[in-house]
């Protein structure tokens, strides 16, 4: 894909803070920032992490060119010595992240940045912009795919996306979340994902009659002949004409593969059932019946309950915009500052009158804990970097807020996996991103580690993110230090 310099894709206050650090001679002060989110989108039981590959491209290309510096100079906000410093600016720190396609939960770091404070500060906005958006759409796609229950879901939302980038990267995220492909041709080219689609009503209307339009389309695309049947009258005209064309193809010896009809309006449950009866009676039992028309996971679930015979779903606006939950609440918070004399990290905590906004301090890592017999997720466990979990010892899990809620895991009954993996070390990328289709397969396996109760579309079971005793004690000591009373 083409590389773009997105260095100025940042909020102004990142740059003004950088100038302040520069004036205070704290340019090389090493800090830790965590990116995390506080609640699952769509009241879901989980989220899907996406966007890391674009973050990698952004970090690799991070620099201020001459035009950037001259633009900043014209704002009259920045000192000449600071602007000259920016000429040689590049990222030299470490980044750890949870791989794309992973199942994730609230309050655990998705990305950990260890870097000089000016570098760590600058990348905040772009990192949040990229990962918030793609994680939102990937999560929405996973919900839609779950509702489709094994049927193919096609991402059809480009024309309704909030601009070209949202259309391209939203489609990428939708495929990660489980869609079989996208109508977005540029996304297909950039990320080597399947492109899918049929034709519009205008195709039908441009011909003297519907049957002529169908015949021409079948002649043009004999191995991908899906006909839109609702331009005039679905059951009296569209489906009968489609059947006529399919009979003509069969009589001509053309193999009928990947063929069928698409419904885009009307009562999709009723029309699909009647269309299925007509196709079966004509000997086309394997014809695909696809549907579009402002679908989402709730409508698809309802149509399934009504016995709709649709087996492929084109989902557009509600998916590409995540219309019912249009933002992913990722945040980026300072967790520690290095003591220059000792090299140790001093933990930092953000307090709030809202207990949900209190951060977890220190240099942390995350373990995912699985039931050894089932392979399902029991909980995620955030601990300090120096801590290690052993499956040969029992483990006590406790809720970090309602601490009386405790679960003891017996030695040998669980397995663990460390979630954060190194992406950049000393400014050099040490991670190779899989292809989008490989990430999609990984995401499918990740979803299989969730209990069915956690995947419910409504009122899902909560997967707990617990703290180690050492991390909880650190957090409590800092709360006491600032005389904070948690209710």
Q: Which of 293, 310, 345 is the last residue of a domain?
A: 293
- What pLDDT is recorded for position 486? 52
- Within-domain flag for 343: yes
Is residue 399 a part of any domain in this protein? Answer: yes
Q: Based on the domain organization, do 288 and 347 belong to the same domain? A: no
Query: Are residues 252 and 358 part of one domain?
Result: no
pTM over cut 0.85: yes
Residue whose token pair is 């991390």: 471
> What's the CATH number where 352 sits?
3.20.140.10
Instruction: Please report whether residue 434 resides in a domain.
Output: yes
Q: Cβ(131)–Cβ(306) under 8 Å?
A: no
Do residue 101 and residue 35 come from a single domain?
Answer: yes
Note whether 355 and 261 are same-domain residues. Answer: no
CB-based contact 292:316 (threshold 8 Å): yes
Cβ-based neighbours of 144, under 8 Å, separated by 6 or more: 153, 177, 178, 179, 295, 296, 297, 300, 313, 315, 319
Range of the domain at 274: 198-293
Give the pLDDT confidence score for residue 487 in this predicted structure.
Answer: 42
Residue 144 lies in a domain: no
- Residue at 82 is within a domain: yes
238 within some domain: yes
Average pLDDT over residues 255-259: 94
Check whether residue 334 and residue 475 sit in a common domain: yes
The pLDDT assigned to 360 comes to 96
Is 355's pLDDT higher than 50? yes
Query: Do 288 and 358 fall within a single domain?
Result: no
Last residue of a domain, one of 273, 293, 313: 293
* Domain end marker among 247, 270, 293: 293
279 lies in a domain? yes
Choose among 428, 337, 392, 318: nearest CA to 121. Answer: 337
Residues 335 and 390 placed together within one structural domain of the fold: yes
Question: Is the torsion defined by CA of 239, 242, 243, 244 positive or negative?
Answer: positive
pLDDT tens track for 85-107: 999 999 999 999 999 999 999 99
- Confidence at 399, pLDDT banded by 50, 70, 90: confident
Residue 21 lies in a domain: yes
Q: 371 and 287 in one domain?
A: no
Q: How many domains does the chain have?
A: 2
Question: Measuring CA to CA, which residue among 242, 235, 233, 231 is closest to residue 206?
Answer: 231
């Amino acid at each position: 894909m083409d590389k773009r310099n997105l260095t100025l894709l940042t909020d102004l206050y990142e740059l003004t803070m950088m100038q302040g650090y520069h004036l205070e001679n704290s340019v090389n002060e090493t800090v830790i920032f965590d990116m995390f989110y506080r609640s699952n989108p769509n009241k879901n039981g989980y989220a899907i992490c996406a966007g890391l590959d674009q973050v990698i491209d952004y970090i690799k290309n991070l620099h201020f060119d001459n035009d950037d510096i001259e633009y900043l100079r014209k704002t009259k906000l920045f000192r000449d010595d600071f602007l000259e410093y920016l000429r040689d600016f590049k990222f030299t720190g470490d980044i750890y992240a949870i791989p794309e396609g992973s199942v994730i939960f609230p309050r655990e770091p998705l990305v950990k940045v260890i870097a000089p404070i000016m570098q760590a500060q600058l990348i905040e906005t772009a990192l949040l912009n990229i990962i918030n958006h793609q994680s939102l759409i990937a999560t929405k796609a996973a919900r839609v795919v779950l509702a489709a229950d094994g049927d193919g879901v096609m991402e059809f939302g480009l024309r309704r996306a909030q601009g070209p980038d949202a259309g391209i990267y939203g489609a990428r995220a939708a495929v990660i979340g489980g869609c079989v492909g996208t109508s977005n041709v540029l996304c297909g080219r950039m990320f080597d994902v399947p492109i899918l689609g049929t034709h519009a009503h205008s195709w039908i209307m441009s011909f003297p009659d519907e049957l002529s339009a169908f015949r021409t389309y079948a002649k043009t695309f004999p191995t991908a002949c899906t006909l839109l049947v609702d331009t005039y009258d679905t059951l009296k005209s569209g489906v009968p004409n489609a059947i006529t064309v399919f009979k003509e193809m069969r009589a001509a010896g053309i193999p009928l593969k990947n063929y069928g009809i698409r419904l885009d309006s009307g009562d999709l449950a009723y029309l699909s059932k009647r269309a299925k009866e007509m196709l079966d009676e004509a000997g086309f039992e394997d014809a695909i019946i696809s549907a579009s028309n402002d679908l989402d996971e709730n409508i698809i679930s309802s149509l399934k309950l009504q016995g709709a015979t649709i087996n492929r779903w084109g989902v557009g606006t509600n998916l590409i915009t995540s219309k019912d939950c249009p933002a992913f609440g990722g945040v980026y918070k300072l967790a520690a500052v290095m003591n220059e004399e000792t090299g140790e990290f001093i933990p930092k905590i953000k307090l709030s009158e809202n207990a949900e906004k209190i951060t977890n301090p220190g240099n942390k890592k995350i373990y995912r804990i699985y039931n050894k017999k089932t392979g399902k997720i029991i909980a995620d466990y955030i601990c300090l970097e120096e801590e290690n979990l052993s499956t040969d010892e029992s483990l006590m899990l406790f809720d970090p807020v309602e601490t009386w809620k405790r679960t003891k895991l017996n030695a040998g009954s669980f397995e663990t996996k460390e979630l954060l993996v190194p992406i950049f070390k000393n400014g050099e990328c040490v991670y190779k991103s899989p292809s989008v289709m490989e990430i999609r397969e990984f995401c499918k396996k990740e979803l299989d580690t969730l209990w069915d109760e956690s995947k419910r579309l409504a009122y899902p079971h909560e997967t707990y993110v617990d703290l180690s005793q050492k991390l909880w004690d650190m957090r409590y000591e800092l709360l006491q230090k600032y005389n904070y009373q948690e209710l």
